[in-house]
Amino acid sequence: MNLLLLFVEIIVYFSILLLMNKFFKKEGCYVWIAIASILANIQVCKNIDLLGISATLGNVLFASNFLATDILNELYGKKQAKKGVYIGAIAIIISIIITQITLLFTPNEFDFVNDSMKTLFEFNFRVSLSSLFMYVVANYADVVLYAKLKKLKLWQKNNLCTILCNCLENFGFIFLAFGGLMTFKELLIIALSTSAIETIIALFDTPFLYLARKFK
């Protein structure tokens, strides 16, 4: 069931991104990047099994940001792609501020969600900081590398940039966000398995990049 849902995520999320770009142009990509950056940091707190391998959620949302910056790079230029990275970073910072302020409020006797929010947002604070750092590093690297490889065919530069930068973000994020909570072996297994999943997702995003260019 988890594997099926993974493919559903790929089709649904990437299709929404394409529609956002088709109807709202680069502004639609910016909105998607902001949404995906925030929700990916919530999804990634959940661990699942895929084909018997332990992995975290959020893979498709994280990967969709690479697709979004590649679309921006391909259709609107390097400057607009960098702007997308900055918008994603700002979205994560704002989400950190809002969630931490939320926890400062004292609940009354009618509240029934504060404990759940505390569990998620206190843990999510470290996750968000780790994600923010690796998001900026990996996505900025993707933008720069994609622009430098402009002589390659579209599918070549898309796959090369997305796979390399996805793995960079994934390994850095796993060890920063979950280091000390799991053993090194567990962290390595999750990082390797998640990178394998994200490599597959990266291969799936290439047709969507071609469609984005065709729509324009």
How much is the pLDDT for 49? 85
**Range 57-66 average pLDDT:** 90
Q: Which of 90-99, 121-130, 131-140, 203-212 has the lowest mean pLDDT?
A: 121-130
- For the chain, what is the radius of gyration of the CA atoms? 17
Q: Band the pLDDT of 56: cuts 50, 70, 90.
A: confident
How much is the pLDDT for 155? 92
How much is the pLDDT for 143? 93
How much is the pLDDT for 166? 86
How much is the pLDDT for 196? 85
Structural domains of the chain sorted by starting position, each given as residue range(s) with its CATH number in brackets: 24-215 (1.10.1760)
**Do 54 and 189 form a contact (C-beta atoms < 8 A)?**
yes
* Helical segments of 44-113, H only: 59-76, 78-104
Closest CA to 161 of 153, 55, 10, 59: 153
How much is the pLDDT for 120? 83
Q: What is the mean pLDDT of the chain?
A: 90
How much is the pLDDT for 164? 92
Which pTM value belongs to this model? Answer: 0.89
Closest CA to 19 of 212, 206, 213: 212
Q: Which of 47-61, 80-94, 137-151 has the lowest mean pLDDT?
A: 47-61
Q: Which of 16-20, 88-92, 104-108, 193-197 has the lowest mean pLDDT?
A: 193-197
pLDDT, tens digit (0-9, with 9 covering 90-100), for 120-154: 887 767 877 888 899 899 999 999 999 899 889 99
How many Å apart are CA 11 and CA 85, to the nearest integer? 23
Per the structure block, which two tokens stand in for 165? Answer: 């930068």
How much is the pLDDT for 129? 86
Instruction: Check pLDDT > 90 for residue 57.
Output: no
